[in-house]
């Protein structure tokens, strides 16, 4: 006989803490986007050329399509914050999440161990887990599960972690007592919208990826629009501006996961050294890090733009 929904939920949270996660919440599975806001976002072309988002729209909007029989969604958070090292001359800035080991690799095993524990809590329990690579709207589920509230920068916020955390999601056929959805605590603050260098935040919580520095320097495989090139500042991989200005990130605490701490020379990249790398050297230098996602040619493109326009000291 399995545990009751309340007991099982408590057991899942205890197991999540044991695996090192900083927060854990759960929600009833089902439609997570009943107003089709995701469809409206896609219709406006805000996903740029990330066509896989449109192809998996229905899967993302209802967890039961991905895992038939799913009854609950478990969401966990893992803090990755670390202090930024001093900037050397002639370097390009890297988004904080990419300073260490690839977070997919770091979180995969503890998330699977948590899923295995959930599978043991009842008869014939099935689970599906992912760290932002599966067709799951993890940020919407995080809000529904009470892990955090929806920030105006499109990220999830918590009082204790700000927005500096990764999310992991487990869909399960086990019935778990749901948590109360998180209410927004952003108030009238608009700092993230006002600070975005390219105006990519077109409304609270609405991001136009075609103008987003993170998208353009990482996912974009083509050229970067000339009108935006000069606004990259010194960002050679990603962008943290909308997080850095957020008041909820002022008291962020350092991560306890050593794999997320900055590797030497990875919070800022030497632009001259990057320009001299061949493909093999690039793959060796950034093996096992998120930076490889941008590809060798993409990083050379980014470095060339930053070198051309110079560092933004602001």
Name the residues annotated as catalytic: 132
What sign has the CA pseudo-torsion 266, 248, 153, 63? positive
Strands 91-94 and 268-270: antiparallel
Q: How far apart are the first and last CA of the chain?
A: 61
Whole-Å CA distances, 54 to 43, 128, 294: 9, 21, 21
Count the neighbouring beta carbons within 10 Å of the beta carbon of residue 257.
Answer: 20
Q: Alpha-carbon distance 226 to 230, whole Å?
A: 7
Q: Alpha-carbon distance 235 to 196, whole Å?
A: 13
Within 8 A by CB and 6+ apart from 129, the residues are: 111, 112, 114, 115, 168, 169, 170, 171
Q: Alpha-carbon distance 246 to 258, whole Å?
A: 25
Within 8 A by CB and 6+ apart from 85, the residues are: 262, 267, 268
DSSP assignment, residue 260?
Answer: G
Structure tokens given for 312 = 């933004």
Q: Alpha-carbon distance 174 to 49, whole Å?
A: 36
DSSP assignment, residue 78?
Answer: E
Q: Alpha-carbon distance 222 to 214, whole Å?
A: 14
């Amino acid at each position: 006989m399995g545990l009751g929904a309340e007991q099982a939920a408590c057991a899942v949270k205890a197991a999540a803490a044991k695996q090192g996660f900083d927060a854990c919440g759960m929600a009833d599975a089902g439609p997570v986007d009943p107003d089709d806001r995701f469809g409206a976002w896609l219709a406006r072309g805000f996903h740029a050329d990330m066509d896989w988002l449109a192809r998996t729209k229905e899967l993302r909007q209802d967890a039961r399509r991905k895992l038939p029989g799913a009854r609950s969604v478990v969401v966990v958070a893992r803090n990755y914050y670390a202090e930024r090292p001093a900037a050397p001359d002639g370097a390009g800035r890297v988004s904080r999440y990419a300073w260490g080991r690839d977070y997919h690799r770091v979180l995969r095993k503890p998330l699977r161990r948590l899923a295995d524990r959930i599978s043991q809590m009842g008869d014939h329990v099935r689970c599906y887990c992912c760290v932002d690579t599966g067709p799951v709207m993890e940020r919407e589920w995080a809000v529904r599960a009470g892990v955090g509230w929806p920030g105006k920068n499109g990220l999830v916020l918590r009082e204790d972690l700000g927005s500096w955390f990764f999310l992991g999601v487990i869909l399960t056929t086990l019935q778990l007592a749901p948590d109360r959805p998180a209410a927004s605590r952003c108030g009238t603050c608009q700092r993230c919208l006002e600070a975005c260098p390219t105006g990519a935040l077109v409304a609270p919580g609405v991001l136009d990826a075609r103008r987003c520095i993170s998208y353009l320097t990482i996912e974009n495989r083509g050229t970067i629009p000339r009108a935006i090139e000069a606004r990259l500042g010194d960002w050679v991989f990603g962008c943290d501006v909308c997080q850095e200005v957020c008041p909820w990130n002022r008291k962020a605490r350092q991560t306890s996961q050593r794999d997320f701490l900055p590797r030497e020379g990875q919070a800022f990249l030497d632009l001259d050294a990057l320009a001299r790398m061949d493909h093999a050297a690039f793959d060796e230098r950034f093996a096992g890090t998120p930076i490889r996602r941008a590809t060798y040619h993409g990083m050379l493109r980014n470095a060339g733009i930053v070198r051309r326009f110079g560092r933004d000291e602001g």
